[in-house]
Amino acid sequence: MQLAVREGTELVFIERIAGSEAVPVLTRVGGRFALTATGVGLVLLAHAPTDVQDEVLSGPIDRYTECTVTDPRSLRRMLADVRTTGFSISDRQVTMDALSVAAPIHSSRGHVIAAVSLVVHHGTVSPHSLAPLVQTSARAISRTLSGAA
């Protein structure tokens, strides 16, 4: 599990919980990363103000693997899908063995303030089967932050 917030045009990982057989990732608590490749980054970018999206998508977009989406038009379509479905999928975009599914965490006012994800080994499970689990976790965190039990 990973938890991240957006700071400007990057994300900051604020928590990471990994089991003994977890997928090796390039992230660490307190570390910064591009918004365009990770599951949490895609969620945060999808819900960022338009000017932040435009800045991120007009600049150079880092490629981490051959599966990293770097085309701004494709990324805009992905971000629209995230807003529609309520979750993101990052399949082998950061490392070739990782699949990430993420969902937004909302403030009491309904603003996306963070994102939570599960990262698993690519090919071990359908991303769409993980989506309800991640969305349920995101809703629970949102409720807790809002003070509702």
pLDDT at 29: 73
User: Is 60 exceeded by the pLDDT of residue 5?
Assistant: yes
The tens digit of pLDDT for each residue in 29-80 reads: 778 899 999 999 999 999 999 999 999 999 899 999 999 999 999 999 999 9
Average pLDDT over residues 114-141: 93
Q: List the beta bridge partners of residue 90.
A: 100
- Structural fold of domain 2-146: Beta-Lactamase (3.30.450)
- Contacts of 3 by beta carbon, 8 Å cutoff, 6+ apart: 13, 14, 15, 16, 40, 105, 114, 115, 116, 141
- Contacts of 86 by beta carbon, 8 Å cutoff, 6+ apart: 103, 104, 131, 135
Task: Please state, in angstroms and rounded to a whole number, the distance separating the CA atoms of residues 11 and 37.
Answer: 11
pTM, to two decimals = 0.91
- Contacts of 116 by beta carbon, 8 Å cutoff, 6+ apart: 1, 2, 3, 40, 102, 103, 105, 134, 137, 138, 141
The tens digit of pLDDT for each residue in 89-119 reads: 999 999 899 999 999 999 999 999 999 999 8
Domain ranges within the chain, ordered by starting residue:
2-146
Q: List the beta bridge partners of residue 102.
A: 88, 117
Enter the tokens of residue 77.
């379509």
